[in-house]
Chain A
Amino acid sequence: MRVKLDNFKCTGCRTCEMICSMVQFRENNPKKAALRVQGKFPAPGEYKVRFCTQCGKCAEVCPVGAIEEKNGIYKINPQKCTGCWTCVQACPEEAIFIHKDSPVPIKCTWCRACMDICPRRVIRLKD
């Protein structure tokens, strides 16, 4: 856990999703982002960010060893991935996503573009 999520500060603007898709996929499509902002409305009127904490649970469950760790960051190797989505179901943060264009699940690669742009500093490094 190197990140601190201040969910109470989140306003649901989804700029993080936008920048994630632009940086990671070079596409203008927040549906291809490695994090999600989820609103609970009308009650209790709160947002929650589903964000990868690099806990490594996905690597543990991957049946083909497609999720590889390097310097504490877990990345999916698309060559090895078979698209079984076991990791999607196992993720405790529900932070691995699927998109119909992509056979490989979408997972955070720790580029930290979201931390830079978030207007409310909801996602930040723990220090």
Chain B
Amino acid sequence: MPLVNLTAREITCKLVYYGPGRCGKTTNLQYIHGRVPENRRGRMVSLATQSDRTLFFDFLPIELGVISGFTTRFQLYTVPGQVYYNATRRLVLQGADGVVFVADSQARRFDENVESFKNLQDNLLEQGVDIRQIPLVLQYNKQDLPPDLILSPAELDDTFNFRSVPSLPADALHGTGVFETLKALSTVVLQRLAARPPSL
């Protein structure tokens, strides 16, 4: 649940990027880090292995600005995608206000996307959260690859978008769809907050 400081009029939301290994979660955060003005972001922390694979999480705090008198901040996290890091994925997912599921659009990675999506569902359920209830946005990354190697957004929607949530094609390496994804999730999370009174 977003943390709302009614005294100092601040809102803090935790947003988690989830998906299989090498789908582009860290790349999303790196792009955001590179483009958001320095006074609106903190340092990007990456707890990574020597080969730069995410070991625990990446973390990037950004400040959205003042919304209706509330200074609004987002804590952006990624989870490690490799199957064997499920324990750390569960920890990072704890208390998430919204999730971006980053799918790798390559046809050969389809099964890994499905496995990761099921894993997201299981890990949310373990925390008592129904995947049909939490704010969710789907990002279909690597749509810049040759068409014969990838699945189209419509094909991926058929599998993953049973809730008709926002889904966006992306090329995170070059920034296409990165801000659109974050904007879509921010909107859903904060609209939900506006509809439901805040609490500590």
A in complex with B: no
